[in-house]
Chains A and B, each alone.
Chain A
Amino acid sequence: MSHSLPSFAGYGLGLRREHYRDFLETEVPVDFVEVISENYMVDGGQPRHILRQLRERHPVILHGVSMSIGSADGLKDAYLRRLRTLADEIQPLYVSDHVSWSRFAHFNSHDLLPLPYTEETLEVVCRNIHHAQEALGRPMLFENPSSYVSFAASAMSEAEFLAEMTRRTGCGLLLDINNVFVSAHNHGWDAEAYLRDIPPQCVRQIHLAGHTEGDGMLIDSHDQPVPGGVWSLYAKAIASFGQVATMIERDDNIPPLAELLDELAMARGFGRHLQEAA
């Protein structure tokens, strides 16, 4: 691999179609923009054109949802080639995906499904990460998932799994604070202990998002503002990891851009507070 993972302590937003015009026609005060890779892994047309225009204005992070890094039968080279073509053109700040699986054999659920945290899973995931990083010619970031079930076979905690995964592969972490909050609630974990088990030097990016509650479970719906509990956990996270690329992730019930910028301003405020306290 010819690239390394840069450090970048800026504040950004996930680009959604509802805000294309804002981003292309006005000066949006963000330090980077994250896009869903698959939306732009197309042959041509307006999506690629918009991304090229956007790239002229901002650093871009390619965030994927379909690599399926936990697939026991490996990764699809055709997918990796498409992603490589996009990454070579866009020269992203980071390329990321999730610690989950969505595809096995010919079936693709298009959902981020949970993994048991076992040595076998670790070997599969690390083998796949090596494959992906070689194919892309760059190290990647992987995001902790939110989960609603746990496996009897799990032999280590999620944080221990992520730490060992980064150690074996050299990948970085995209830490989704909302996912930590959601999974900790659903499984009765200690969210702060989770953060303590994450190797600080591996965290390159943070996602902040909202969730909904139903039937005693929290669902990672990304359709609400970032709630207070997630902000509190974020403050503890950056106290441990320092300021890293931080963004608001909203996938549904998309509000006007100004509302997301207000949330981003809150994140910046936490960062400033951390600097002043140092």
Chain B
Amino acid sequence: MLAQMQQNFQDWLVHAGNDTPSLLGLHATRGLAAYQNNYRTQLVNCLRASYPQLLAWMGEEAFLAVAIAHIDSHPPSAWTLDAYGADFGDSLRTLYPHNPDLRELAWIEWALSDAFVAADAATMALAQLAEVDWDAAHLQLAPSLRQHTLTTNAAVIWSALVDGVAPPEAQMLEVPAGVIVWRREFTSRLMQVDAIEHAALLALRDDDRFDALCAALVEELGEQDGVARAGALLANWIGAGLVVGVSAVG
């Protein structure tokens, strides 16, 4: 009985039909609308809070239309309301298939929020590096690191919106560009990276050995430039908190 009521109630919340209340076994139904209103208002507010720059970019009316479509097609299932907007990009793709700037802007905003509460990483002592056997070294990436390939100038649009200046028109990039999002201390950051750095960071997820990174860069750039680039990248990554540990444990 209780299970059936809960199934009926959730069906009614999701589909907002007029006929279901009779299935709920309610004695007094006058206040039923309050639950439908709470459910939808809360989800809309959650999406608005998750995507403030996308909301500013699209405008209130267009954003709300996507939010309503998303709520109808993606009933919430995660343990926390904060996770509800994770697949908002799906609805943007469906409703605006020819506007990749929208879903790429959404990716940026979601990744920044996600990184904000990602697992903490220990601070690496630089003294550790002096003792590293680099031929056997494994690099540990920050748990907050997220990567994506952008086809539009969404990163520039996002920056302009955050800075409160007029954003440029949406444009396709001549060549897709890599962006990374990560958290340093308590602040999430967004940075565009070149193709070599983007590929190097992606490759580290499958093979975290420093010598594999060197080998890949040598193949790409030649012996001298490849090794030099590997060293430069590593120094930058450690400095920026993208690499948070170096170990020789196999």
Contact surface of A with B, Cβ cutoff 8 Å: 38-39, 41-49, 66, 70-73, 76, 78-79, 82, 101, 104-111, 113-116, 118, 120-121, 124, 147-154, 186-187, 215-217, 219
Q: Which among A79, A116, A186 is the interface contact of B2 at CB below 8 angstroms?
A: A116
Is the pair B35, A46 in contact by a Cβ cutoff of 8 Å? no
Is the pair B77, A149 in contact by a Cβ cutoff of 8 Å? no
Q: How far is the CA of A109 from the CA of B16 in the complex (A)?
A: 13
Is the pair A109, B2 in contact by a Cβ cutoff of 8 Å? no
Q: CB-CB < 8 A to A215: which residues of B?
A: 30
Number of A-B contacts (CB under 8 A): 127
Q: How far is the CA of A42 from the CA of B210 in the complex (A)?
A: 31
Is the pair B82, A148 in contact by a Cβ cutoff of 8 Å? no
Kindly supply a per-residue 1/0 record for chain B positions 1-37, scoring 1 wherever the CB is within 8 Å of any chain A CB and 0 otherwise.
Answer: 1110111011001100000000011111111101100
Is B116 engaged at the interface, CB distance under 8 Å to the other chain?
Answer: yes
- Assuming the contacts A104-B3, A107-B14, A111-B38, asked whether A44 and B81 have C-beta atoms less than 8 A apart, the reply is no
Is the pair A152, B27 in contact by a Cβ cutoff of 8 Å? yes
Q: CB-CB < 8 A to A149: which residues of B?
A: 24, 26-32, 35
Is the pair B42, A148 in contact by a Cβ cutoff of 8 Å? no
Q: How far is the CB of A197 from chain B (nearest CB, A)?
A: 19
Is B84 engaged at the interface, CB distance under 8 Å to the other chain?
Answer: yes
Give the interface size class of chain B: 35 or more
Beyond known contacts A43-B119, A149-B27: 5 more, CB 8 A cutoff = A43-B143, A48-B120, A110-B42, A149-B28, A187-B28
Q: Which among A47, A70, A109 is the interface contact of B39 at CB below 8 angstroms?
A: A109
Q: How far is the CB of B77 from chain A (nearest CB, A)?
A: 5
Is B52 engaged at the interface, CB distance under 8 Å to the other chain?
Answer: no
Q: How far is the CA of A219 from the CA of B186 in the complex (A)?
A: 37
Q: CB-CB < 8 A to A43: which residues of B?
A: 117-120, 143
Interface hub of B25, B26, B79 (most chain A Cβ within 10 A): B79
Q: How far is the CA of A82 from the CA of B80 in the complex (A)?
A: 11
Q: Which among B5, B39, B43, B116 is the interface contact of A45 at CB below 8 angstroms?
A: B116
Is B146 engaged at the interface, CB distance under 8 Å to the other chain?
Answer: no
Q: CB-CB < 8 A to A150: which residues of B?
A: 26-28
Q: How far is the CA of A166 from the CA of B223 in the complex (A)?
A: 73
Q: How far is the CA of A142 from the CA of B5 in the complex (A)?
A: 22
Q: CB-CB < 8 A to B5: which residues of A?
A: 116, 151
- Return the chain A residue nearest B46 by Cβ: A110
Q: How far is the CB of B197 from chain A (nearest CB, A)?
A: 25
Q: Which among A44, A71, A109 is the interface contact of B76 at CB below 8 angstroms?
A: A109
Q: CB-CB < 8 A to B191: which residues of A?
A: none
Can you give 8 A-B contacts (C-beta < 8 A)?
A44-B143, A45-B117, A66-B80, A71-B6, A148-B31, A152-B26, A153-B1, A153-B25
Is the pair A47, B34 in contact by a Cβ cutoff of 8 Å? no
- Assuming the contacts A45-B183, A66-B80, A109-B13, asked whether A148 and B32 have C-beta atoms less than 8 A apart, the reply is yes
Q: How far is the CB of B111 from chain A (nearest CB, A)?
A: 14
Q: CB-CB < 8 A to B14: which residues of A?
A: 107
Is the pair B9, A113 in contact by a Cβ cutoff of 8 Å? yes
Q: How far is the CA of A187 from the CA of B31 in the complex (A)?
A: 10
Q: How far is the CA of A217 from the CA of B35 in the complex (A)?
A: 13
Q: CB-CB < 8 A to A153: which residues of B?
A: 1, 25
Q: How far is the CA of A12 from the CA of B216 in the complex (A)?
A: 58
Q: How far is the CB of A30 from chain B (nearest CB, A)?
A: 24
Q: How far is the CA of A106 from the CA of B28 in the complex (A)?
A: 28
Is the pair A107, B27 in contact by a Cβ cutoff of 8 Å? no
Q: CB-CB < 8 A to B79: which residues of A?
A: 38, 66, 76, 78-79, 82, 108
Interface hub of A38, A44, A121, A215 (most chain B Cβ within 10 A): A44
Is the pair B3, A72 in contact by a Cβ cutoff of 8 Å? yes
Q: CB-CB < 8 A to A101: which residues of B?
A: 6
Is the pair B1, A38 in contact by a Cβ cutoff of 8 Å? no
- Return the chain B residue nearest A121 by Cβ: B2
Is the pair A148, B81 in contact by a Cβ cutoff of 8 Å? no
Interface hub of B5, B9, B78 (most chain A Cβ within 10 A): B5
Q: In residues 80-112 of chain B, which contact A (Cβ within 8 Å)?
A: 80-82, 84
Is B75 engaged at the interface, CB distance under 8 Å to the other chain?
Answer: yes
Q: CB-CB < 8 A to A217: which residues of B?
A: 30-31, 34
Is the pair B7, A44 in contact by a Cβ cutoff of 8 Å? no
Q: How far is the CA of A114 from the CA of B12 in the complex (A)?
A: 14
Q: Which among A73, A79, A105, A151 is the interface contact of B26 at CB below 8 angstroms?
A: A151
Q: CB-CB < 8 A to B9: which residues of A?
A: 104, 113
Q: CB-CB < 8 A to B30: which residues of A?
A: 148-149, 215-217
